[in-house]
Amino acid sequence: MSQIPEQITRLVCVACGAAYDEGSILYTCTSCGIEGILDVQYSYDRMVGFREDLKASQDFSIWRYKDVLPITGRKGLPPLQVGWTPIYEYPNLAKRYGLGGFRIKDDGRLPTGSFKDRASAVGTVKARELGYKIVACSSTGNAASSLAGFCASQGLQAIIFVPAQAPEAKVAQLRAFGATVLLVDGSYDEAYYLCQDAVEEFGWYNRNCAVNPYLIEGKKTCGLEIAEQCALDPPDVVAVAVGDGCTVGGIWKGMKEMQKLGVWDHLPRLLGVQAEGAAPMAHAFAKGLAVIEKVKADTIADSIAVGEPRNWRKALQAVADSQGAWCTVSDEEILEVSKDLAAGTGVFAEPTGAAAFAGVLKAKEEGLISSDEKVLHIVTGNGLKDVKGAAAHAPEAHRIQVSLDAVRGVIDNT
């Protein structure tokens, strides 16, 4: 029998409010089924000295926040360094785009190159604590390669379901990490449901954030870090690209917890950004709907190419609670700003990693962000994840002969 983390008080269904003791349930609400995603709640009143402990800590990883993570201790943590990614400030871009400030938090620097490493780190630790040796997930690419990498680091087996059209670089990562890779001839949503059936049939641990309540706890560490890193100069707006909804929901939870625990006294507004070809949550918000309408996802930003998001309740609630906004951006806008983002900052983002930046510019045009507001944009994935997509609008290379005249000809015309 695995030890139960003493800091957890209960798990609560976001759909019906039913509460469960930790250890009595594994994934979703028994009444609501797959719609009943659970939220992990903690005994914050017992965390006296949390802020002082952070100041004294020399562990600059997500495990510095172990008191608000669903793990039993520090034993068996993965050796890979996860978290505490840098935040860069770009006053030149703030001036160029008429913002009060512009910063980037670069999660493309995490071990497998994406934000999803936060969730996989917590998920694989939880799997080991519960006695599982095989972990499965469905993904458009990043969550899959992340899980594969963290399983490889801990001696677990990863079984991955990805759409057959997933970017080649992401599939290559899966293979290199030794995962069992199943390329599904279908959409992400079809791969997701097949994975769900297989997990139930074969008894594997389910890493899918859409049903596993512990994975979003890993994602919230980005919000925890933002609060700690920006406590003296908090942003007014945090821009997040949204697919399944787990990322934006997790970041909001982390920032709220840090306010509750006295680390900062500010909460930014959230800007949820979806690609036009996969925007069910943005559309629901615009129409004032209480539920989302499924769409057929079609966007170059594969990490947010989700037409049937499972964690939409947490996402919509997070943006609403923050008094934030939603916007959509076209693939053309994403590709255009990908080039500007890399050339203007030195941060190479995959299309999804640039999507929220495109959303910031769109929101500024539409009056959703004012000229005196400071914006923090989260780059969720490295551009090397999808070189073809990220380089689509980059300047062409110049092929030349071996001569200085050829070099001069290019320089004179640049």
pLDDT value at residue 171: 86
H/E element, 134? strand 134-138
Scored b (16 or more CB within 10 A) or e, 205-217 reads bbbbbbbbbbbbb
Domains and CATH numbers, the chain: 87-111+214-390 (3.40.50.1100)
Tell me the C-alpha to C-alpha distance, in Å, between residue 138 and each of 155, 165, 335, 371. Answer: 20, 13, 26, 40
pLDDT value at residue 390: 67
pLDDT value at residue 82: 97
Cα–Cα distance between 58 and 286 in angstroms, integer? 45
Divide the 414 residues of the chain into consecutive groups of 10 and give the mean pLDDT of each group: 80 95 92 89 93 95 96 87 97 97 97 96 95 91 90 95 85 92 89 92 92 95 98 98 95 98 96 97 92 92 89 95 98 92 93 95 97 97 81 81 94 88
Q: Residue 77 is encoded by which pair of tokens?
A: 């943590």
Helix (H) and strand (E) counts in the chain? 14, 13
Smallest CA-to-CA distance from 241 within 292, 299, 174, 172 is with 299
* Spatial contact of 251 and 238, defined as CB atoms under 8 Å apart: yes
pLDDT value at residue 166: 82
pLDDT value at residue 1: 42
Global pTM reads 0.93
SS3 labels along 136-202: EEECCCHHHHHHHHHHHHHCCEEEEEEECCCCHHHHHHHHHCCCEEEEECCCHHHHHHHHHHHHHHH
pLDDT value at residue 289: 87
Q: Residue 5 is encoded by which pair of tokens?
A: 């983390």
Backbone angles phi, psi at 52, to 5 degrees: -65, -35
pLDDT value at residue 2: 57
